[in-house]
């Protein structure tokens, strides 16, 4: 898989130094998601208060794309209103469905636009989406 080298660097940085990794004992909802085709696994703890994403902590094993993606997702949605977090989530999902045609909205996605190139590789899209799907699941449960 060839990604733009700058983007590859951003992804590897998060993989080597993941943000918000290590499960916190304080959470409202815990979910576990996995991606059997690659062997990626993530457990995600989420807390929401008054419609704001107060905290995400996670642990997991998997490829650099899956782990870097959870790390960046956590950075992006913590302290956001739930509605804004969903907007970011939807933007990332549509970027992953773009088959390499979209560069992504950098204002919403910030460093996560680094994953744009991944959308050309169908086998890796689930890796990139794993943490986001875990967040989608946990946050919709928490908002119920």
Which residues of the chain form contacts with Zn ion (CB under 5 A)?
Answer: 38, 40, 63, 66, 127
Closest separation between CB of residue 124 and Zn ion, Å? Answer: 7
Closest separation between CB of residue 142 and Zn ion, Å? Answer: 26
Q: What angle do CA 140, 20, 16 make, to 5 degrees?
A: 125
> CB-wise, 45 or 66, nearer to Zn ion?
66
Q: How many CA atoms lie within 13 A of 132 on its CB side?
A: 27
**Cβ of 13: how many Cβ atoms within 10 Å?**
15
Distances (CA, A) of 115 to 13, 76, 80, 103: 13, 14, 21, 9
Tell me the two tokens of residue 22: 């290590």
> CB-wise, 20 or 126, nearer to Zn ion?
126
> CB-wise, 37 or 49, nearer to Zn ion?
37
- How far apart CA 139 and CA 17 sit, in angstroms, is 25
**Cβ of 118: how many Cβ atoms within 10 Å?**
23
Closest separation between CB of residue 40 and Zn ion, Å? Answer: 4
Closest separation between CB of residue 59 and Zn ion, Å? Answer: 16
- How far apart CA 141 and CA 28 sit, in angstroms, is 9
> CB-wise, 29 or 63, nearer to Zn ion?
63
Closest separation between CB of residue 127 and Zn ion, Å? Answer: 3
> CB-wise, 37 or 140, nearer to Zn ion?
37
């Amino acid at each position: 898989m060839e990604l733009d080298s700058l983007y590859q660097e951003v992804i590897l940085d998060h993989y080597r130094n993941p943000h918000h990794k290590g499960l916190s004992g304080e959470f409202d909802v815990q979910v576990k998601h996995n991606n059997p085709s690659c062997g990626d696994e993530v457990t995600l703890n989420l807390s929401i208060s008054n419609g704001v994403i107060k905290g995400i902590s996670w642990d997991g094993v998997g490829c650099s794309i899956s782990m870097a993606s959870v790390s960046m997702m956590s950075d992006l949605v913590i302290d956001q209103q739930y509605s804004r977090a969903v907007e970011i989530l939807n933007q990332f999902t549509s970027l992953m469905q773009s088959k390499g045609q979209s560069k992504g909205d950098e204002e919403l996605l910030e460093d996560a636009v680094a994953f744009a190139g991944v959308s050309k590789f169908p086998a890796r899209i689930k890796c990139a989406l794993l943490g986001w799907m875990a967040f989608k699941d946990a946050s919709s449960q928490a908002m119920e």
